[in-house]
Amino acid sequence: MSQAPMPPETMQGYGPPSVTQFSVFLDNRVGRLYDLMEEIDCSESRVCAISVHEASDHAVVRMITNNSAVTRRLLRESGVPFAETDVIVVELSEGHSLESLCLHLLAAELNIRFAYPLMLRPNGTPTIAISVDDLTLAGQILRRKEFRLFGEFDLPKTG
């Protein structure tokens, strides 16, 4: 019995699961990060991943929460400057290492702009957030290679 060929995937018909990363710009003053974390973690949103990049006069806090709508509202209400971008959250497991993830993206000539691990992880397995040149292509490649990708609704609600 022959099977009908699968229709080709198109970039317009596929959107990989992704999460919103917030890049928050803070004055480089003692206690600013604490204030931000207190405001977010005391709401209906939890910080699942964080990366802080410091300069002499400011810091950029990249973070992923499990409720982007609430986080966005809190940031707007607090008047803190921020930007948003979508990132892919990838589970690293046996046979799906960071090395193999990098190799597959390299083969497609995709650049990883930045990456950082999640603190609150779905399934309790090592999980990494990555920003790439082409989110759709990266999602297609990683799915074909049987990596597990997570969206916002997959992120733990408690930690």
User: Per-residue pLDDT tens for 86-110?
Assistant: 999 999 988 899 999 999 999 999 9
Q: What is the pLDDT of residue 159?
A: 57
At residue 39, the pLDDT reads: 86
pLDDT at 7: 44
Is 100 part of a structural domain of the chain?
A: yes
Confidence of residue 122 (pLDDT cuts 50, 70, 90): confident
Domain at 26, CATH number: 3.30.2130.10
Which has the closest alpha carbon to 131: 76, 88, 78?
Answer: 88
Please check whether residue 4 lies inside any domain of the structure: no
Domain identity same for 92 and 142 = yes
Statement to judge: residues 47 and 60 lie in one domain: yes
Domain extent, residue 70, equals 19-85
Q: What is the mean pLDDT of residues 16-36?
A: 91
CA distance 25 to 107: 34
Count of domains forming the chain: 2
Residues 81, 100 share a domain: no
Whether 158 maps to a domain, the answer reads no
Q: Report yes or no on 72 lying in a domain.
A: yes
User: Is the backbone of residue 123 left (phi > 0), alpha (psi -120 to 50) or beta?
Assistant: left
pLDDT classification of 54: cutoffs 50, 70, 90: confident
Same domain, 92 and 61: no
- Asked whether residue 4 carries a pLDDT value surpassing 50, the answer given is no
Is residue 77 in a domain? yes
For the chain, the residue count is: 159
Q: Name which of 8-12, 34-38, 93-97, 116-120 the model is least confident about.
A: 8-12
Domain boundary among 50, 85, 120: 85
Residues 135 and 79 in one domain: no
Pair 29, 63 in one domain: yes
Region 29-56: what's the mean pLDDT?
87
State the pLDDT at residue 6.
44
116 with 51: CB under 8 angstroms?
Answer: yes
Q: Look at residue 28 and tell me whether its pLDDT is greater than 90.
A: no
Mean pLDDT confidence for 109-128: 90
Percentage of the residues of the chain whose pLDDT score is greater than 90: 62
Q: Which among 158, 125, 127, 159 has a CA at the least distance from the CA of 142?
A: 127
Are 62 and 26 contacting, i.e. CB atoms less than 8 angstroms apart?
A: no
Q: At 145, list the tokens.
A: 């290679």
Same domain flag for 27 and 45: yes
- 51 and 92, same domain (yes or no): no
